[in-house]
């Protein structure tokens, strides 16, 4: 029976793969396991409640059609969700969730219990509050410009962004509690964390939202110890409805602070208050944190932010320019986006230095100026050649557009341009074959391998071709 389930699900996957973006396929469908098939009902196992909700929200129609196609009009789908919501729970327990059945649509039956009477704020004197005010007034410390509106969406941040948005619509009442956002520096953790806070505040003006950096939290705690008012410190934090704590990796090694944070965390969590954390690493890689704290970080959802792709980088630059009311030639924007691919902070840094140069020297913003500035900028930050950049050079060289070389066409010169991009990407970047394939027309690793072999053969046998390759190589390294 199980084998049959596998077979059917495999067929479904083939259809699904053809209908959605590869990245989405990888994120949302590859982790699914078919469990059984009985009476036209296929049961699939999904890793979390969030996963299930996401599938229902975004892929219900596709799933429905696919299932009917494979199993006939009777066909139905049931989910089995691995619940990872409790400490030390090694046995995932399953819940049957019917779908492809109108009643269940958009109405997830697995609900978190919600007690609305809990967690009402009490009048507790504390030093963090302006005295004399009845209702606690807390300075949220939110930065207006770090809004959702200014946060460009891309494949690199889709999961974290949507989870964040969901949290702001329903703080404390989704299964993403805590919501942990992690990434390397400069990829938007702080921005996204603020955005969630701002949106939650807009949606629920009566809720107390607080953004705090972990350094601030530690300093406040140390102060409270010094002033002997630790209880007030704890009470203050326990009154927050949406607590955002940025860069929790700084808790590492601070045992006392971890202790007190542990208690605050528990109290908030029990009372269905929302906790949003950011960190430079996923929980499994965090060092110097107590296991009991780490285990709690895994209760909700950990979502990462990746390096933005070229399109997203261009969109971010355009948004920044638009917000500042500055115009800049398209080619300059593209040049910056092609060449600065480390992180968003550096992208913005490069933009600012070009703007500064142009206004200091009263020079127009031209490609020349951008090239000069970027060269300096990129040298300072040890530029890495990117796949995007290679594709750009290859396209310019053969006078093709990016869309053409990544399209499905089998025209010889276009296939060759694509193969050259793959070959140079293999040569000059550390990207895996799979990643290169993904960037170059959504091909698999075997195609990339084949491309590299083909180019190597041609270089050895065709003199004219070798000259092309050498010229291109020079341009790429320039
Ligand atoms: P982190 O906290 O991960 O180090 P930040 O949130 O400080 O990163 O982001 C660095 C800069 O990049 C900020 O100015 C932020 O506004 C900007 N930024 C990051 N991601 C995006 C995005 N997706 N859209 C727009 N701006 C972004
Ligand atoms: Mg930050």
| 298 and 317 together in one domain | no
Q: Give the separation between CA 5 and CA 38, rounded to whole angstroms.
A: 9
Q: Which of 378, 396, 427 is the last residue before a domain boundary?
A: 378
Q: Mean pLDDT over residues 115-144, rounded?
A: 52
Of the two residues 254 and 135, the one the predictor is more confident about is 254
pLDDT (tens digit, 9 = 90+) per residue, 429-452?
A: 888 898 899 889 899 999 999 999
Identify the domain boundary among 45, 73, 106: 106
Question: Above 50 in pLDDT, residue 426?
Answer: yes
Residue 229's domain comprises 158-304
Evaluate whether 365 touches 332 at the Cβ level (below 8 Å).
Answer: yes
Burial 290-315 (b: 16+ CB within 10 A, else e): eeebeebbbbbbbbbbbbbbbebbbb
Ligand located closest to 314 CA: 1
Sequence-distant (≥ 6) Cβ neighbours of residue 270 within 8 angstroms: 118
Q: Is residue 120 part of a domain?
A: no
Looking from the CA of residue 312, the nearest atom of ligand 1 is 23
Q: What is the CATH classification number for the domain harbouring 463?
A: 1.10.1750.10
In a domain, 260, yes or no: yes
Report the CATH number that the domain containing residue 361 is assigned in CATH: 1.10.8.60
Pair 354, 393 in one domain: no
Longest dimension (CA), the chain: 86
pLDDT of residue 90 exceeding 50: no
Q: Which of 433, 413, 414 is nearest to 423 (CA)?
A: 433
**46-50 long-range contacts, Cβ below 8 Å, gap at least 24?**
46/79, 46/80, 46/81, 46/82, 47/82, 47/84, 48/81, 48/82, 48/83, 48/84, 48/175, 48/301, 49/81, 49/83, 49/85, 49/108, 49/110, 49/175, 50/163, 50/174, 50/175, 50/176, 50/301
Last residue of a domain, one of 85, 106, 127: 106
Q: Which ligand is nearest to the CA of 246?
A: 2
Residues 93-119, mean pLDDT to the nearest whole number: 34
179-227: pLDDT as tens digits:
999 999 999 999 999 999 999 999 999 999 999 999 999 999 999 999 9
* Residue located nearest, by CA, to atom 19 of ligand 1: 188
Tell whether 9 and 61 lie within a shared domain: yes
| Token pair for 346 | 């550096």
Does 176 fall in a domain? yes
Looking at the fold, whether 372 and 398 belong to one and the same domain comes out as no
Q: Are 326 and 276 contained in the same domain?
A: no
Q: Which of 345, 346, 352 to mutate to test the pocket of ligand 1 (most atoms within 8 A of CB)?
A: 345
Asked whether residue 327 is domain-assigned, the answer is yes
The ligand placed nearest to the CA atom of residue 187 is: 1
CA-308 nearest atom, ligand 1: 23
CA–centroid distance, residue 280 to ligand 2 (Å): 9
Residue 121 resides in a domain:
no
Which residue's CA is the nearest one to ligand 1's atom 11?
345
Token couple for 348: 């913005």
Residues 248 and 315 in one domain: no
Nearest ligand to the C-alpha atom of residue 186: 1
- For the cut 70, the answer to whether the pLDDT of residue 291 exceeds it is yes
Centre of ligand 1 to C-alpha 273, Å, is 26
Ligand 1 closest atom vs CA 183: 3
Residues 298 and 165 in one domain: yes
146 part of a folded domain? no
Nearest atom within ligand 1 for CA of residue 319:
25
Taking only the tens place, the pLDDT of each residue in 295-308 is: 999 889 999 999 99
For the CA of 246, the closest atom of ligand 1 is 2
Taking all residues of the chain, what is their mean pLDDT, rounded to a whole number? 84
**Distance in Å, CA 410 to ligand 1 centroid:** 39
Specify the number of domains making up the chain: 4
| Residue 265 shares a structural domain with residue 295 | yes
130 vs 467, residue with greater confidence: 467
pLDDT at 1: 57
Q: Are the C-beta atoms of residues 448 and 440 closer than 8 Å to each other?
A: yes
Task: Give the binding-site residues of ligand 1, using a 6 Å CB cut-off.
Answer: 150-152, 157, 183, 185-191, 316, 344-345, 348
Of 18-32, 116-130, 344-358, the range with the highest mean pLDDT is 344-358
Q: Phi first, then psi: what are they for 355, rounded to 5°? A: -60, -40
Q: How confident is the model at residue 111 (pLDDT cuts 50, 70, 90)?
A: very low
β-pairing verdict for 41-46 and 33-38: antiparallel
Checking phi first, is residue 215 left (phi over 0); if not, alpha (psi -120 to 50) or beta? alpha
Closest atom of ligand 1 to CA, residue 145: 16
In the reported structure, the alpha carbon of residue 151 is separated from the centroid of ligand 1 by a whole-number distance in angstroms of 8
Is 86 in the same domain as 169?
A: no
Q: What is the DSSP string of 153-209?
A: --TTTHHHHHHHHHHHHSTTSSS--SEEEE-STTSSHHHHHHHHHHHHHHH-TTS-E
Q: Compute the distance from residue 415 Cα to the ligand 1 centre, in Å.
A: 37
CA of 356 to the centre of ligand 1 (A): 20
Does a structural domain hold residue 117?
Answer: no
Mapped onto helix, strand or coil, the DSSP state of residue 49 is helix
Q: How far is the CA of 302 from the centre of ligand 1 (A)?
A: 18
In angstroms, the CA 435 to CA 431 distance is: 6
Residue 418 burial (C-beta neighbours within 10 Å; 0-12, 13-18, 19+): buried
The reply to whether 145 falls in a domain is no
289 in the same domain as 164: yes
Query: What's the rounded Cα separation, in Å, for the pair 435 and 441?
Result: 11
Same domain, 199 and 267: yes
Instruction: Determine the average pLDDT of the residues in 105-124.
Output: 32
CATH number assigned to the domain comprising residue 273 = 3.40.50.300
Q: Which of 161-165, 310-314, 368-372 shows the lowest per-residue confidence on average (mean pLDDT)? A: 368-372
Query: Do residues 196 and 177 share a domain?
Result: yes
pLDDT at 116 over 80: no
* Residue having the nearest C-alpha atom to atom 26 of ligand 1: 151
Determine the 3-state secondary structure of 236 from DSSP.
helix
pLDDT at 101 over 50: no
Place 378 in a pLDDT band, splitting at 50, 70 and 90.
low
């Amino acid at each position: 029976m199980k084998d049959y389930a596998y077979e059917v699900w495999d067929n479904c996957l083939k259809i699904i793969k053809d209908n959605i973006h590869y990245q989405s396929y990888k994120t949302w469908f590859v982790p699914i396991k078919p469990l059984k098939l009985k009476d036209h009902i296929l049961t699939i196992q999904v890793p979390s409640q969030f996963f299930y909700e996401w599938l229902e929200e975004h892929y219900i129609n596709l799933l429905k059609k696919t299932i009917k196609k494979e199993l006939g009009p009777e066909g139905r789908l049931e989910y089995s969700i691995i619940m990872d919501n409790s400490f030390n729970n090694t046995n995932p327990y399953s819940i049957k969730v019917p779908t492809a059945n109108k009643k269940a649509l958009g109405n997830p039956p697995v609900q978190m219990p919600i007690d609305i009477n809990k967690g009402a704020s009490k009048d507790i004197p504390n030093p963090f509050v302006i005295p004399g005010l009845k209702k606690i007034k807390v300075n949220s410390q939110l930065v207006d410009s770090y809004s959702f509106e200014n946060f460009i969406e891309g494949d690199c941040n889709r999961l974290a962004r949507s989870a964040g948005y969901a949290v702001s619509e329903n703080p404390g009442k989704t299964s993403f509690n805590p919501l942990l956002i992690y990434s390397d520096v400069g990829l938007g953790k702080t921005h996204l964390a603020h955005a969630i806070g701002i949106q939650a505040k807009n949606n629920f003006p009566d809720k107390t939202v607080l953004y705090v950096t972990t350094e601030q939290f530690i300093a406040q705690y140390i102060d409270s110890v010094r002033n002997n008012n630790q209880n007030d410190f704890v009470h203050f934090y326990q009154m927050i409805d949406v607590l955002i704590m940025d860069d929790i990796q700084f808790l590492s090694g601070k045992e006392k602070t971890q202790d007190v944070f542990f208690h605050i965390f528990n109290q908030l969590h029990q009372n269905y208050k929302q906790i949003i954390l950011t960190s430079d690493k996923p929980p499994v890689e965090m060092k110097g944190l107590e296991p009991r704290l780490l285990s709690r970080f895994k209760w909700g959802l950990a979502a990462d932010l990746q390096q933005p792709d070229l399109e997203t980088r261009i969109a971010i630059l355009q948004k920044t320019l638009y917000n500042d009311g500055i115009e800049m030639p398209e080619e300059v924007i593209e040049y910056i986006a092609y060449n600065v691919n480390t992180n968003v902070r550096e992208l913005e840094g490069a933009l600012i230095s070009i703007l500064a140069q142009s206004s200091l020297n009263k020079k127009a913003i031209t490609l020349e100026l951008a090239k000069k500035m970027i060269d300096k900028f990129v040298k300072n930050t040890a530029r890495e050649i990117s796949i995007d950049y290679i594709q750009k050079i290859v396209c310019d060289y053969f006078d093709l557009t990016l869309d053409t070389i990544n399209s499905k066409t089998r025209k010889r010169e276009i296939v060759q341009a694509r193969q050259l991009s793959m070959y140079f990407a293999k040569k000059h970047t550390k990207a895996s074959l799979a990643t290169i394939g993904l960037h170059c027309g959504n091909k698999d690793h075997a195609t990339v391998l084949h491309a590299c072999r083909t180019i190597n053969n041609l270089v050895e046998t065709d003199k004219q071709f070798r000259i092309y390759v050498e010229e291109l190589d020079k341009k790429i390294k320039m």
